Amino acid sequence: MRWALADTATLAGRQLAHLRARPGEVAGAVGFPILLLLMFVYLLGGMMDAPGGDYRQALSPGLFTMTMLFGLSATMIGVLTDAQRGITDRFRSLPMSAGAVLAGRAVADMVVSALALAVLLGAALLVGWRPTGGPWSAAAAVGLLLLLRFSLLWVGIWLGLVARGPGALTAVQTFEFPFAFLSGVFVAPVTMPAVLGAVAEWNPLSSTAAAARELFGNPGWEGGGWVAQHAIAMAVLWPVVIVGVFAPLAVRRYRRMSR
């Protein structure tokens, strides 16, 4: 365990050192969510209806949640790039923990995600968003958002390991927006057609967005289903299930890459 943790720290430091050499990637990870926030608030906000009459209060937690989803493709890009350049094969030839190679990627990506979320929270405050649930509740909401990101990055790691080329990356990036909009991130699932509304209600993003709104003290959309009534519990359960499925798959795929 001690060596595995040391390997994880070393590889996480490697990823962060690469990002220091490529500040444009960090700027993109931080700047794109802010651009979306400004577009939704100032370009589309006038035609949106929300509980309480202020769409910014309902929008911001949803946008925080969607930002956690967009990190999936960023993780996939990093893993796929290392695999195509032969760096992953070099790591596999070294006496290090297989799990540490992937965990190092996860730690580095979580650092970048936490930075991007912090900047986005500050930008939301500047455009008028106000959390009213208290500091501890706000901290819990941030924790749930990062927990979702942690679970989705394991999906990105697995996809990066199984992908055969850039075409798979394009497909994943194309899928991110429909997956985000088929949820309660921006609109109430009850306003959708019955089947789509049911799917949106069970979307993990819906649970995290609803839990974040509740903990931040922001208005949200009422839902009568069991999932909507237990948003905080589901915002914990969904990431645990996703990690439980995709982390072992990623490690197994990493170990079998040469077969």
Question: Quick count: other Cβ atoms within 10 Å of Cβ 14?
Answer: 15
CA distances from 95 to 4, 15, 29, 92, 101 (A): 11, 19, 33, 8, 11
Task: Put residue 222 in one of left, alpha, beta given phi > 0 → left and psi -120 to 50 → alpha.
Answer: beta
Tokens 């949640």 found at: 65
pLDDT in single tens digits along all 259 residues of the chain: 676 677 778 778 877 777 777 767 677 777 878 888 888 777 766 555 555 557 778 888 988 998 899 878 888 888 888 777 777 777 777 777 767 788 888 888 898 889 889 999 999 999 888 898 889 999 999 999 999 999 999 999 999 888 877 777 788 878 888 888 888 888 888 888 888 888 888 999 999 999 999 999 887 766 667 887 888 999 999 999 999 999 999 988 888 775 4
> What is the predicted pLDDT for the residue at 136?
94
**Taking the C-alpha atoms of 169, 173, 178 and 183 in order, what is their torsion angle to the nearest 10 degrees?**
100
Output the pTM of the full model: 0.87
CA distances from 166 to 15, 84, 175, 184 (A): 21, 10, 14, 30
Domain locations in the chain as residue ranges = 28-85+118-255
**Taking the C-alpha atoms of 126, 130, 135 and 136 in order, what is their torsion angle to the nearest 10 degrees?**
-120
> What is the predicted pLDDT for the residue at 215?
93
> What is the predicted pLDDT for the residue at 249?
92
> What is the predicted pLDDT for the residue at 258?
56
> What is the predicted pLDDT for the residue at 53?
59
> What is the predicted pLDDT for the residue at 32?
79
CA distances from 144 to 139, 177, 213, 239, 240 (A): 9, 21, 11, 9, 11
> What is the predicted pLDDT for the residue at 177?
84
In whole angstroms, give the CA distance from residue 13 to residue 11.
Answer: 5
